[in-house]
Amino acid sequence: MSKKDKPIPVTILTGFLGAGKTTLLNRILKAEHGLRVAVLVNDFGAVNIDAELIVGVEGETISLANGCICCTIRNDLLAAVLDLLQRQPPPEYILIETSGVSDPYAVAQSFLLPALSPYVRVDSIITVVDAEQIRDLRDEDAMLAADQVSAADIIVLNKVDLVTAEQLSQVKAWINDVAPRARILETTYGQVPLELLLGVGEFAIEKLHQRAQRDVHTHEVGEAHDHGHDHDHHDHSLVFNTWHYRTDEPLVYEALCDAVDALPTTIFRAKGVVYLKESPQRRAILQVVGRRAMLTIGEPWQKPPQTQIVVIGSYGGVDGEKLQAIFDACRVSAVEAAKSDKLQIALDWVRRNWPKAFS
């Protein structure tokens, strides 16, 4: 892999023993996501790979029909990743399942080493939590589990069907204490939309939205619903809202950074192309996964510039009007108007206080 290529994004999947990491991995390995995903695992035996999906076996690497390759981590994570980078074509995404007693901070720091940093980047740390068992851990186990939670961009709060509403509330309160900015994704059996885990490759807003519709029960915020329709048969831990933002007006970089910081914790994923004032000739690519965000300058525009952003959040946790206001405030006209208002306020204060302040 050449240094001229874009760094490959890496998701670190962590969580204490028995939380459900392997169940989540199995779903990725069986999904039709159309990406060359390399999955590094500690234990091949625990991964249930259907025989009909296997198209090739080479040493400790299994190639699957959907483009995934699954490799074991022997003793050296660095060597395993470097081996992946030599493959032709190289993977588009790397997902690493850590052992149940691993420190995700240590794993993430591996990718800051000079041998890896030009070629890979940590896209997100996702921690799977067993809602039923997490608060029963004690001593060193409890400390390790807390470290795994504190590192997370997204918490996959698994097995929520096994606890009462009161127990679930207590677990979420503990998570918020340990990781106040992490997004909490409630689920069962590791059923997580792949857009919240992967979502890489060439940007295609329509493809992202279509995959979200197929993979998980979603509602478009603002769409008409038959409120007399009974939704009780749905497990709302698996229901998400999506919302789209579009504008032909350029956005201001600093204002956009503030907007991303202001996104509520009920927003799990945002992705889009941005028409940026500071780089009007090229598309800016926005990626938000949990609390982690990245804005990079991409290819030149091939059509009239336009910002398009897709947001995925929890059911009932996507306030379209609030999000519209947050992103509208990033437009050049809004930023300039805000500056003008602040200047006018300052001038008015000087006029009112001139005799007292400068006498």
Domain ranges for the chain, please list them. Answer: 8-196, 205-222+235-338
What is the chain's mean pLDDT, rounded?
80
Say if 8-196 and 205-222+235-338 have the same CATH topology: no
pLDDT digits (tens, 9 = 90+) for 22-68: 888 888 777 777 778 888 886 544 555 555 555 556 766 666 666 67
What pLDDT is attached to residue 15?
Answer: 92
Q: CA–CA distance from 313 to each of 88, 150, 182, 289 (Å)?
A: 36, 21, 13, 11
CATH topology of domain 205-222+235-338: Hypothetical Protein Yjia; Chain: A;domain 2 (3.30.1220)
214-218 long-range contacts, CB within 8 A, separation 24+: 215/31, 216/191, 216/240, 218/242, 218/312
pTM, rounded to two decimals: 0.76
What pLDDT is attached to residue 135?
Answer: 93
Residue 335 has pLDDT above 90, yes or no: yes
Residue 193 has pLDDT above 50, yes or no: yes
Query: Could you say which of 3.50.50.60, 3.30.428.10, 3.40.50.2020, 3.40.50.300 is the CATH number of the domain covering 8-196?
Result: 3.40.50.300
Query: Helices 165-178 and 139-150 meet at what angle, rounded to 10?
Result: 70
